[in-house]
Amino acid sequence: MDHKTNTTLLFSLLFFITYLITIATSKDLCNQNDKNTLLKIKKSLNNPYHLASWHPETDCCSWYCLECGDATVNHRVISLTIFAGQISGQLPPEVGDLPYLQSLMFHRITNITGQIPSTITKLKYLRSLRLSWLNLSGPVPEFLSQLMNLEYLSLSFNQLSGSIPSSLALLPKLSYVDLSRNKLTGTIPESFGSFPAELAYLILSHNQLSGSIPKSLGNLDFNRIDFSRNKFTGDASMLFGANKTTFSIDLSRNIFQFDLSRVVLHESLGVLDLNHNGITGSIPVQWTEYSLQILNVSYNRLCGPIPTGGSLQRFDSYTYFHNKCLCGAPLDSSCK
């Protein structure tokens, strides 16, 4: 052996010893209870390839689809995000045994069926719950109102049925609610007019909700409202007002019936879609002062001239067509 080979061997040996020492002294950050729970979750989901990194011999804080907190929470698992995997099964009830979870998300997994497990009420620190684009059935559970730290709730794109629990309005921090694209029936609970925090997003589109909107919703200042494609009736004018800061209001494809003539818009409104309802009256002249990005009042029972001298002629006839007797540009029918 020449000198060079000897040196290489020596360095390799040193490197190997350092490596062994590193392995022996490195301590898993992962909490053992969390690790056991995660392995149960993996098993309950039939050991999907998506969770191949969840290997019992490695530190669970290094696994994909989750996040451990810092030393202040002893590196407990604070977030679990299972997204777009080839996974079949039900939501594992064991998720309730990750007591430090702040965020729980299962999203875009076609074959997740069954109901939302009540064990999630054990998650006292949960701030964000997103169970969307799954195939969950059963109700929007009443027990969600036990999640006192919840700020964000999305259960959209499932097969959930039954009515919306009024107790959701008990949640002191809830500001985002998306229950769209389910099979929900019944009305919007009266209690929704009195959320303790500012309810900024209320997205209920593509359900079979009915009845009139509680008057009390007029007390709220939303960022975005989407009630489209339901069976809501009656008045929705309380959602508007000079003092609001709502950016987007979509009430399209319902059976709303109110007089548009006295509906006052506000500066920050960017999107207003009222198509396919039974809305009467005329378009207020005041509306010329606002610079909406999207406007659709088609398929209603509006009458009278489309006010000129502002921004309302920027839209094409598809914004206004199929009304009772709207007239003037951009429609072809001129006003007599």
Ligand X SMILES: *[C@@H]1O[C@H](CO)[C@@H](O)[C@H](O)[C@H]1NC(C)=O
Which residues in this chain contact ligand X in the complex, by CB under 6 A?
Answer: 86, 88, 110-111, 133, 135, 157, 241-243, 275, 296, 298-299, 318-319
* 3-state DSSP assignment of residue 81: strand
Could you tell me the two tokens for 201? Answer: 């997003």
Q: Which is nearer to ligand X, 147 or 279 (CB)?
A: 279
Shortest distance in whole angstroms from residue 272 CB to ligand X: 11
Shortest distance in whole angstroms from residue 76 CB to ligand X: 31
Residues across the chain: 336
d(CA 249, CA 105): 27
Shortest distance in whole angstroms from residue 86 CB to ligand X: 5
Residue burial 302-326, b: 16+ Cβ < 10 Å; e: rest: bbbbbbeeeebeebeeebbbebeeb
Shortest distance in whole angstroms from residue 209 CB to ligand X: 19
d(CA 316, CA 255): 24
Shortest distance in whole angstroms from residue 246 CB to ligand X: 14
Query: Computed from CA positions of residues 174, 178, 184, 186, in that sequence, does the dihedral angle turn out positive or negative?
Result: positive
Q: Which is nearer to ligand X, 76 or 276 (CB)?
A: 276
Q: Which is nearer to ligand X, 76 or 253 (CB)?
A: 253
HSE-CB at 39 with a 13 A cutoff on CA atoms is: 13
Shortest distance in whole angstroms from residue 61 CB to ligand X: 28
Q: Which is nearer to ligand X, 142 or 316 (CB)?
A: 316
Q: Which is nearer to ligand X, 122 or 266 (CB)?
A: 266
d(CA 218, CA 237): 8
Q: Which is nearer to ligand X, 128 or 319 (CB)?
A: 319
